[in-house]
Amino acid sequence: MRAHYLKILGLGENSSTDDIRKAYRRLAKKFHPDVNKDPGAHAKFIAIAEAYDYLVNTPVHPKTNFSAKSSAYSSSASSAQSKKNEQQTAQEKMRRQYQAQMHEEEERRRQQQRSRIRAEQYAKMSFQEYRQSEYFRNTLRTILHAFLWWKFYIIFIPYCFLVFTFFNNKNYGPAIVLLAIPVAFVAWALLSRPGKND
């Protein structure tokens, strides 16, 4: 399912959450029914929004291997009773793993339905309404955070050098202002960071 949704967004299997958000934002602007008058735009937008919603709200779990070749089956137990106990333990473990996988599959189906419903609701909005929605704005906020954090680290070392130069010259006014800017930036970034379900 994940591979199918990534393909809808034009992304590969190793795409990050930021890649997903960027692709969604770009495609949503292009295919929103209020902007794109093509008859297929409505369905395309719903598919894009559903894919995005599913991908950002569904955790990725490794595949579980239900092979009957368990270590309990291959061990050479000395007594028949201990071998039977080991087999029962292995069977119980496989049963629990299977139930967990079925539960995950059911959760994925429910998330897919929720994603489809949200996508249809967003398709009914005007583009201006949709652009102002918290859902769409959070995609930009995430992209800005990723961009600004990298810029912050790239600039930080020369910036510190500049601040210490002002302090060494006993020019405290500009030094305090220069120190306040990154503190304000970090506070803003931490307070406005979007959550997992945004």
- Is-contact 26 91, C-beta < 8 A? no
Q: What is the pLDDT of residues 94-118, one digit of tens each?
A: 888 878 888 888 888 888 888 888 8
Q: In angstroms, how far is the first alpha carbon of the chain from the final one?
A: 21
- Is-contact 156 182, C-beta < 8 A? yes
> Structural domain boundaries of the chain?
134-198
Length of the chain in terms of residues written: 198
- Is-contact 194 141, C-beta < 8 A? yes
C-alpha–C-alpha distance, residues 95 and 73, integer Å: 15
pTM: 0.50
Q: What is the pLDDT of residues 154-179, one digit of tens each?
A: 666 677 777 777 667 676 676 677 67
% of the chain beyond a pLDDT of 90: 5
Half-sphere CA count of 146, side-chain side, radius 13 A: 12
Q: What is the pLDDT of residues 40-87, one digit of tens each?
A: 888 998 898 888 888 888 777 555 454 444 444 444 445 677 777 787
